[in-house]
């Protein structure tokens, strides 16, 4: 099983700042099979990034993804109020299709 470790667990930032979230895999993941999701309280998750760096439909360009192999990042260039949420990475390279434990992005 591929274990995904996200860091930090909680990130406290102010609107307008840059956020960098990390997702590290216990073994190499093909970039095509790495996704990021955003989840707001009381809502289902929604797709942000797929194939490590491709934005899903309707996702603003302040969200970007990168990385390869075992290290992946999600960057939000200038935080807006609606970006404060929990973010998860997930790998689809091999079953079970594991999630990271999540990073909570909170307002400082």
Partner 1 sequence: QVQLVESGGGVVQPGRSLRLSCVVSGFTFSNYGMHWVRQAPGKGLEWVAVIWYDGSNKYYGDSVRGRFTISRDDSKNTLYLQVNSLRAEDTAIYYCARAGISGTAIIDYWGQGTLVTVSS
* Interacting residues toward partner 1 by CB under 8 A: 1, 32-33, 35, 37, 39, 44-47, 50-51, 56, 86, 88, 90, 92, 95-102
Residue 34 to residue 11: CA distance in whole angstroms: 21
Helices first, then strands: H and E counts in the chain: 0, 9
User: Cβ closer to partner 1: 76 or 98?
Assistant: 98
CB of 64 to partner 1, least distance (A): 17
Task: CB nearer to partner 1: give 77 or 104.
Answer: 104
CB of 46 to partner 1, least distance (A): 7
Tokens linked to 15: 């609107």
Q: State phi, psi for 48 to the nearest 5 degrees.
A: -105, -55
Count of all residues that appear for the chain in the document: 108
CB-nearer residue toward partner 1: 39 or 77: 39
- Give the separation between CA 1 and CA 94, rounded to whole angstroms: 8
Nearest distance from C-beta of residue 75 to partner 1, angstroms: 20
Instruction: Using the minimum distance from each CB to partner 1, give the nearer residue, 12 or 46.
Output: 46
What 55-62 contacts at long range (C-beta under 8 Å, 24+ apart), as own/partner pairs, is none
């Amino acid at each position: 099983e591929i274990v995904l470790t996200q860091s930090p667990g909680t990130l406290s930032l102010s609107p307008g700042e840059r956020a960098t979230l990390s997702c590290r895999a216990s073994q190499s993941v093909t970039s095509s099979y790495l996704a990021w999701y955003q989840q707001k309280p009381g809502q289902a998750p929604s797709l942000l990034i797929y194939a490590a760096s491709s934005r899903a439909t309707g996702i603003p360009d302040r969200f970007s993804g990168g990385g390869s192999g075992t290290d992946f990042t999600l960057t939000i260039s200038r935080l807006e109020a609606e970006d404060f949420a929990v973010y998860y990475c997930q790998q689809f390279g091999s079953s079970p299709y594991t999630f990271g434990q999540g990073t909570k992005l909170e307002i400082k």
